[in-house]
Amino acid sequence: MTVPAWSEAFTTLGPVVPLPLPGPVREWAWEGATGAGVKVAVVDSGVDGSHPLVGGVDGYAALSLDADSEDGLRVDEGPHEDLVGHGTACAAIIRSLAPDVRIYSVRVLGSNLKGQGSLFLAGIEWAVEAGMDVVNLSLSSKSPRWFGPLHEAADLAYFSNTLLVAAANNYPGPTYPSQYASVVSVAARQGDDPRSLAYNPDPPVEFAARGIDVEVAWLGGESIVATGNSFAAPHVAGLAALIRSKHPGLTPFQVKSVMHAAAENATDHRQGASGAPGDIPV
């Protein structure tokens, strides 16, 4: 089986040193949280709110090119459909982890699962302006042209208290915005635990979550089995929503630090008598 690019970095996990958070770390981070009070935008192909695994959509924004508008863009905030199924899959994963989040569908991709860089950029900007707490980006650009504009958008999100969770591309090479330090970058790994989380001490891709042979929601109320970094990212977005629900005062870099501490390969910052790091309960 061919796994997505960047996943190989998580095959053998080296230890990382987390912040000294109260333990058990995962219990402190998200135990008991449901995502209540958290707004999550899914920037993708649209979200089918009627799918039983999605359970509704709280808001919409469909972005398209419009030569007659001042900025060349049109934003339609009326309900829309998922043109592919990809966005519905991501939203359902988030909902499964954080059942009480408010999900917003930001459609920037067409029926071929492709889109313009300008729409991708505008979708992120819309999510930031709308005050999203977490934004799931299971898409990316490999074009150097969009490196700068997307970087500015990522910085805008970071300083606006919006956490961007971005999937790395499934193929080798740089992709944006997953390579930016302010973004939570995600690759897929094998496993059945939806709350599995690993940290890569040798970035650019920092986190890995379940994303190989995952049953995901799709069009027409159906489900399919799929593999990809696209489906790992919403697992991390869901965990981020739980953290922000339980600890609403945390900033994006603090949320990333909490997830770093909750990673399966995190070890205690304190050194034991032997000089080797001790295990931290996660």
Show which residues are catalytic.
44, 86, 230
Contacts of 277 (CB under 8 A, 6+ apart): 15, 17, 267, 268, 269, 270, 271
For residue 132, how far is the Cα from the chain centroid? 13
- AA letter at 84: V
In the three-class reduction of DSSP (H, G, I as helix; E, B as strand; rest coil), residue 122 is classed as helix
| CA distances from residue 154 to 84, 116, 157, 176, 212 in whole angstroms, order as listed | 26, 17, 5, 10, 27
Span between the terminal Cα atoms of the chain, in Å = 30
Between CA 117 and CA 67 the distance in angstroms is 16
**Pair type for strands 134-137 and 73-76:** unpaired
| CA distances from residue 261 to 16, 135, 201, 202, 222 in whole angstroms, order as listed | 8, 21, 12, 16, 36
Between CA 258 and CA 109 the distance in angstroms is 32
